[in-house]
Structure 1
Amino acid sequence: MLEYMSSWDLLIIAIYFGITLWIAWWASRVHGKPQIEQDSADYFLAGKNEGWFVIGASLFSSNIGSEIILGVSGAGARAEMPMANFEMLAAFILILLGWVFVPFYLRTGVYTMPEFLELRYSKACRNYLSVVSILAYVITKISLIIFSGALIFETMGVPFWTGAIIIVLATGFYTVLGGLKAVIYTDMVQAFILIASCGAVTYFGLAQLGGWDEMITTIQQASTKPGNPPLERFFNLWRPMTDTQYPWTGMLFGAPILGVWYWCTDQFIVQRTLSARDISNARRGALFAGFLKLLPVFIFFIPGVIAYALLQKGMLDFSTSNADYALPAMITGFLPSGLKGLAIAGLLAALMSSLSSAFNSSSTLFTIDFYKQYKPKASEKELVWVGQLATVALVFVSLGWIPFMKSLMGGGIFFYLQSIQAYISPPIAAVFLFGLYFKWMNAKGAIVSLWMGFALGVSRLVIEFMSKEGIIEVKEGSLVNIFLDINFLHFAIILFVICAVIMVIVSRLTPPQSEKSLRLVTFQRSGIKTKLVFTSDVILTIILIISVLALWVFFSPWGIAN
């Protein structure tokens, strides 16, 4: 890609790095004080004084990594629009975060999600979630972000290793420097660089094609050729229940289970809302992020569809078997000088915001859930110092993991490592949700549910891997074959129900927890008012719900798009 870039493009990328590091330096000074004077609330929760705008932008930016941008645009080029449903469903789950979960998190004053589980259940539940979260971040999330970032540099002509080291060191530097405050303020700027750059790709791609109507006509004409998908597959979010990839039942009932875990209980995301100055700002931040999550349909997915149409007209060259390269092909093919640099900066912003969030949340979990438990009398300065050291350690672990990661990426094992998150999320979602609504759910029920759910999820993962890699042979029609044939979203529903049933049975057969200990962590004992008043938050929530429903209708078999 470097040969397609002008000096203006390279200058814009350099300016992007400069702005990011300057913001990190600025954010590292709390109320004009040097970073050395920060306490743990300043470093891990940005002083608990952030407003809704920066929280919402940070939620969006942390979630959107370059792998999501390339993956969703690739889905557009492959006519796999149901994948865009994950983006729109996130808006509903963010409403749940703002209205249901945030009040509990802020009133209890927790720093981490495992800490909340200890308040609701027990230390064993806290330790489970802490260990599982840190391992998942290091082995899967951080690795994938670094790999995708190195690939972006590689397309620019920069060697893989050099790109990986630049990404890790630059992101690690400002994360160590300013903690969560540096992370969320750089996230805010990166979010709008990302939106502007991908919006530019959409605009110039359509202009090159000749407009929306020309895109529709091109796809319709291409659909008459053998092997090409019909037009409706590009603009239909819903597929039959028998679809092996995206059944509508799995999307409507299974995907929200994964969403509850990711958006409402994962430290990686929720830590931003914990930095809010009050519940109202945290809720509005979640709602703002919900509106932003409607954009990927238009700035990630639609460019993939445009790329497919350009390919059919011979105006773009990429392989549909590797459609994730559709967006980079458009960047190099049609963006004018200067905007190419902005687009690359957008991709770098996406991966750096995700990586800094992973670094920061991992160091917070280590410091609060392990070090502070080991040394409860540690001073505020000591906790900040340990958090910084933990981030530095993560940087070096990430660099050391790169050789293994690169070899794993060549085979199927890395895909299965990524799938861990999908298979371990239902029990965590069940424990959080049922814990809030039913005070008689107890610690024994929760920990048994967590471990049983983990065993079932990992069993599915291991058997699936061994089967597809040819390590074991699965006979057609056998119970193992039936087990593996369950769509992963349907499996999430089944696993969630199993975990809920286990929680109910064990909790009913064992003594209940003390009523006093549940005062702030369940609805029955929290004193939360349920009377609905039409405040601006309620109105925004209703508008967001209507917006998602309108998109669902628009991109459906009976919608205008088809």
Structure 2
Amino acid sequence: MQRLDSLDWIVIAAYFLVLLAVAWWVIMQKQKNTEDYFLAGRNLGWFVVGASIFASNIGSEHVVGLAGNGAGDKMPLLIYELHAWLVLMLGWVFLPFYARSGVFTMPEFLEKRFDARSRWVLSIVSLVAYILTKVSVTIYAGGVVVSALLGIPFWIGAVATVVLTGIYTVLGGMRAVVYTETIQAIVLVLGAGVLTFLGLDAVGGWGQLKTTVGADYFNMWRANSDPDYPWLPLFITSTVVGIWYWCTDQVIVQRVLTAKNIKEGRRGSIFGALLKLMPIFLFLIPGVVALALKMQGKLEWDSPDEAFPVLMSNLLPSGLRGLVAAGLLAALMSSLASVFNSCSTLFTLDIYKKLKPNKPEEELVKTGRIATFFVVGLGLLWIPIITMLSDGLYEYLQNVQAYISPPIAAVFLLGIFYKRINANGAIATLIGGFLIGFAKLTLEIVKESFARDSFIYAIADINWLVFGAYFFALCIGIAVVVSLFYPAPSQTQLAGLTFGTVTSEQKANNKSSYNWKDIFASMVVLVIVVYIMVSFSALSL
């Protein structure tokens, strides 16, 4: 790998100066109440909301892992990048219910729809999941990227980036996060876009790329008998994970809740959906390019997860290398900042405020800053563990999420679409689902200690995509059956929180929040998704 030169460092330094200037400007603004600190005063426009959604999703683990998929014959996982239609669902289906409820967090919404037990369970599980997956994996990938690009030890790169991100997240709150994310999204798209263009040129164009790796390499749909990526379980499980991530997860939903109204929030989700289609071309294709260049003898790398940084360092000229390096650093920082702020929000509003309901607003903001500091510390403490993670970072993340998401997705979907679901059905699904998911994950880790012909080994060995599909169906069943054993929720409790209880006035207000432009833009996104699905199939190869 080529090291960064003086011009690269100048570009990186300029980027960080702009970033810190914006963060400092935000920090100087007064933030004395929770709405301003955690939701940026609910006063953001659609462009900032959409860019923030994109930047929150695209972390270093995403860049490194998605390019690794392209370089490592894991094209079926492309389907996770086609979830733009689920980002649309957030704006068109879920946002009106969240906005009407006036909530800050997703656990808070469950309390309004069901009861306090659901709020407690989701809050605690979400915090643990964030620290053990999102924070840890992002730090790990970021450490790899920073050490590779800057030529410094992994530990120094990881710690420095986490601390820097933590400082402006603690001091600036949500407003600092979303404004810096907007800058980071622009830098990342420009830098990776240039790399894709130059990469295709270096390999000899799109036609030569397909010839080198083979046309079948681009087929994302494999037979249901495929041991790794059977197409139907892949589609079902990826959709369940997508509904959980894009429509119910605090990190993403918190972005649309910062919008000044439903109209701006929905347009932000539409813009975010358009941006969500870009990683296919910005990160996945460069991974395939890196593989083709390796096959042509023009590039060398050992692990697929090294494909993107190696391609970038060897292909880009001076200055542009610095721009893309800044983009990768931006991806790391934006993801960490998003998770830090969302963890802080969950702890402060769903745990601390419930335990101490009479605390003043200034005290809650102070608690939010302290909570962010502790999340930063826990992330740093987890570094020795995450250095043991193997290659295939992106698949690892999707694998774990397939065990976390089904109970949460089931409860939110049924909670909004089926008014008969009650609090007992919700809590049984959440607790039972988390126990089942954790048990499967544990069995999978220790399965080699069981006899290969044993029943337990057979359960542990079930493909994670197949398990995820059946797991979701089981969670739906638990919620419905348990709910039927108890009385239905009252109409007063359900008012405006589920289909069938929305008033005519609420329907009219929602209808007035969009026009033909919003519908047209959404249709464009759906057409592009279908086009890509067909293009990356045996039908067109």
The corresponding residue for 2:425 is 445
Choose which of 294, 311, 327 in structure 1 pairs with 2:308: 327
Choose which of 479, 497, 500 in structure 2 pairs with 1:524: 500
Inter-partner Cα distance in structure 2 for 1:520 and 1:333 = 56
Inter-partner Cα distance in structure 2 for 1:82 and 1:50 = 36
Choose which of 254, 275, 280 in structure 2 pairs with 1:297: 280
Choose which of 134, 142, 150 in structure 1 pairs with 2:135: 142
Quick check: 329-338 or 19-28, which moved more? 19-28
Q: Does 1:344 align with 2:314?
A: no
Quick check: 550-559 or 478-487, which moved more? 478-487
The corresponding residue for 1:316 is 299
SS of corresponding position for 1:543? helix
Summarize the alignment of residues 25-36 of structure 1 with structure 2, pairs less than 5 Å apart.
25-29=24-28, 34-35=29-30
Corresponding letter in the other structure for 1:525? T
The corresponding residue for 1:114 is 107
The corresponding residue for 2:9 is 10
The corresponding residue for 1:249 is 232
Contact 1:419–1:461 (Cα < 8 Å) also in 2: no
TM superposition score normalised by structure 2: 0.95
Contact 2:305–2:392 (Cα < 8 Å) also in 1: no
Summarize the alignment of residues 218-233 of structure 1 with structure 2, pairs less than 5 Å apart.
218-219=212-213, 230-233=214-217
Per-residue CA deviations over 1:413-467 (Å, capped at 9, x if unaligned) read: 9997984432021011000000111111100011011111112111111111111
Choose which of 532, 541, 547 in structure 1 pairs with 2:528: 547
Per-residue CA deviations over 1:246-294 (Å, capped at 9, x if unaligned) read: 2210232221101111111111111101101111111111111111111
Aligned length: 535
Corresponding letter in the other structure for 1:110? V
The corresponding residue for 1:196 is 190
Inter-partner Cα distance in structure 1 for 2:263 and 2:400 = 34
Per-residue CA deviations over 1:352-379 (Å, capped at 9, x if unaligned) read: 1000001000000010011111121211
The corresponding residue for 1:392 is 373
SS of corresponding position for 1:525? coil
Contact 1:24–1:178 (Cα < 8 Å) also in 2: yes
Corresponding letter in the other structure for 1:150? G
Inter-partner Cα distance in structure 2 for 1:327 and 1:415 = 16
Corresponding letter in the other structure for 1:10? W
Contact 1:136–1:421 (Cα < 8 Å) also in 2: no
Per-residue CA deviations over 1:374-397 (Å, capped at 9, x if unaligned) read: 121211111111111111222222
TM superposition score normalised by structure 1: 0.91
The corresponding residue for 1:457 is 437
The corresponding residue for 2:21 is 22
Give how far 1:159 is off. 1.4
Gaps of 5+ in 2: none
Inter-partner Cα distance in structure 2 for 1:210 and 1:414 = 28
Contact 1:139–1:417 (Cα < 8 Å) also in 2: no
Identity across matched positions, percent: 46
The corresponding residue for 2:342 is 361
Contact 2:450–2:456 (Cα < 8 Å) also in 1: no
Choose which of 246, 252, 259 in structure 2 pairs with 1:276: 259
The corresponding residue for 1:557 is 538
Corresponding letter in the other structure for 1:210? G
Contact 2:222–2:230 (Cα < 8 Å) also in 1: yes
Contact 1:261–1:425 (Cα < 8 Å) also in 2: yes
Give how far 1:183 is off. 0.5
Q: Does 1:488 align with 2:468?
A: no
Per-residue CA deviations over 1:107-128 (Å, capped at 9, x if unaligned) read: 1110000000000011110000
Give how far 1:153 is off. 2.1
SS of corresponding position for 2:501? helix
Give how far 1:59 is off. 0.5
**Structure 1 residues 458 and 195, CA, compared in 2 at 3 Å: closer, same or farther?**
same
Contact 2:450–2:457 (Cα < 8 Å) also in 1: no
Give how far 1:28 is off. 2.8
Choose which of 400, 407, 428 in structure 2 pairs with 1:427: 407
Inter-partner Cα distance in structure 1 for 2:215 and 2:314 = 24
Give how far 1:72 is off. 1.2
Q: Does 1:508 align with 2:484?
A: yes
Give how far 1:54 is off. 0.7
The corresponding residue for 2:77 is 83
SS of corresponding position for 1:409? coil
The corresponding residue for 2:352 is 371
Inter-partner Cα distance in structure 2 for 1:25 and 1:269 = 24
Inter-partner Cα distance in structure 1 for 2:494 and 2:390 = 49
Corresponding letter in the other structure for 2:99? L
Contact 2:305–2:391 (Cα < 8 Å) also in 1: no
Per-residue CA deviations over 1:67-97 (Å, capped at 9, x if unaligned) read: 1111111111223221111101x11111111
Contact 2:56–2:335 (Cα < 8 Å) also in 1: yes
Contact 2:61–2:393 (Cα < 8 Å) also in 1: no
Inter-partner Cα distance in structure 2 for 1:364 and 1:218 = 49
The corresponding residue for 1:213 is 207
Inter-partner Cα distance in structure 2 for 1:254 and 1:402 = 29
**Structure 1 residues 541 and 308, CA, compared in 2 at 3 Å: closer, same or farther?**
same
Give how far 1:529 is off. 3.1
Corresponding letter in the other structure for 1:474? A
Summarize the alignment of residues 117-136 of structure 1 with structure 2, pairs less than 5 Å apart.
117-136=110-129
Inter-partner Cα distance in structure 2 for 1:168 and 1:312 = 36
Q: Does 1:497 align with 2:469?
A: no
Give how far 1:412 is off. 11
Inter-partner Cα distance in structure 2 for 1:475 and 1:99 = 48
Inter-partner Cα distance in structure 2 for 1:495 and 1:145 = 27
SS of corresponding position for 2:500? helix
Contact 1:416–1:461 (Cα < 8 Å) also in 2: no
Contact 2:97–2:496 (Cα < 8 Å) also in 1: yes
**Structure 1 residues 18 and 215, CA, compared in 2 at 3 Å: closer, same or farther?**
same
Give how far 1:551 is off. 1.1
The corresponding residue for 1:224 is none
Contact 1:474–1:481 (Cα < 8 Å) also in 2: yes
The corresponding residue for 2:241 is 258
Q: CA RMSD in A?
A: 2.1
Contact 1:265–1:432 (Cα < 8 Å) also in 2: yes
Give how far 1:403 is off. 3.0
Per-residue CA deviations over 1:161-200 (Å, capped at 9, x if unaligned) read: 2112211111001101211111111111111111111111
